[in-house]
Amino acid sequence: MRLLKDYQERLVRLTDERLAHILEHPEMADLEAALMETLERPTLVIQSRSDSAAELSYRFFLGTRVGDKWLCVV
């Protein structure tokens, strides 16, 4: 398990199981660093509509495997 800091210096737990699940998706292969960057320096942060305790952090990346892509971290 990793402890990461988000853009507000809050600690976020990322379990090995969750990271493996995320990276299983073909469009997410090789984007582990982008995932961390999105958490640390999002372009946009939106409050979740379905979970008042969750935020959605977004950052735009050019030239991923599936082209230009918004990456979202919850």
Distance, CA of 21 to CA of 16 (rounded, Å): 9
pLDDT at 63: 87
Task: Give the global pTM.
Answer: 0.83
- What are the sequence ranges of the domains in the chain? 2-73
- 62-71 residue pLDDT tens: 988 888 888 8
At 1, list the tokens: 């398990």
Residue 58's pLDDT band (cuts 50, 70, 90) = very high
Q: Exposed (0-12), middle (13-18) or buried (19+): which is 36, by Cβ within 10 Å?
A: middle
> How many other C-beta atoms can be found within 10 angstroms of the C-beta atom of residue 72?
14
- Asked if the model's pLDDT at residue 40 lies above 90, the reply is yes
The DSSP 8-state label assigned to residue 49 in this structure reads S
Residue 56, strand partner residues: 46
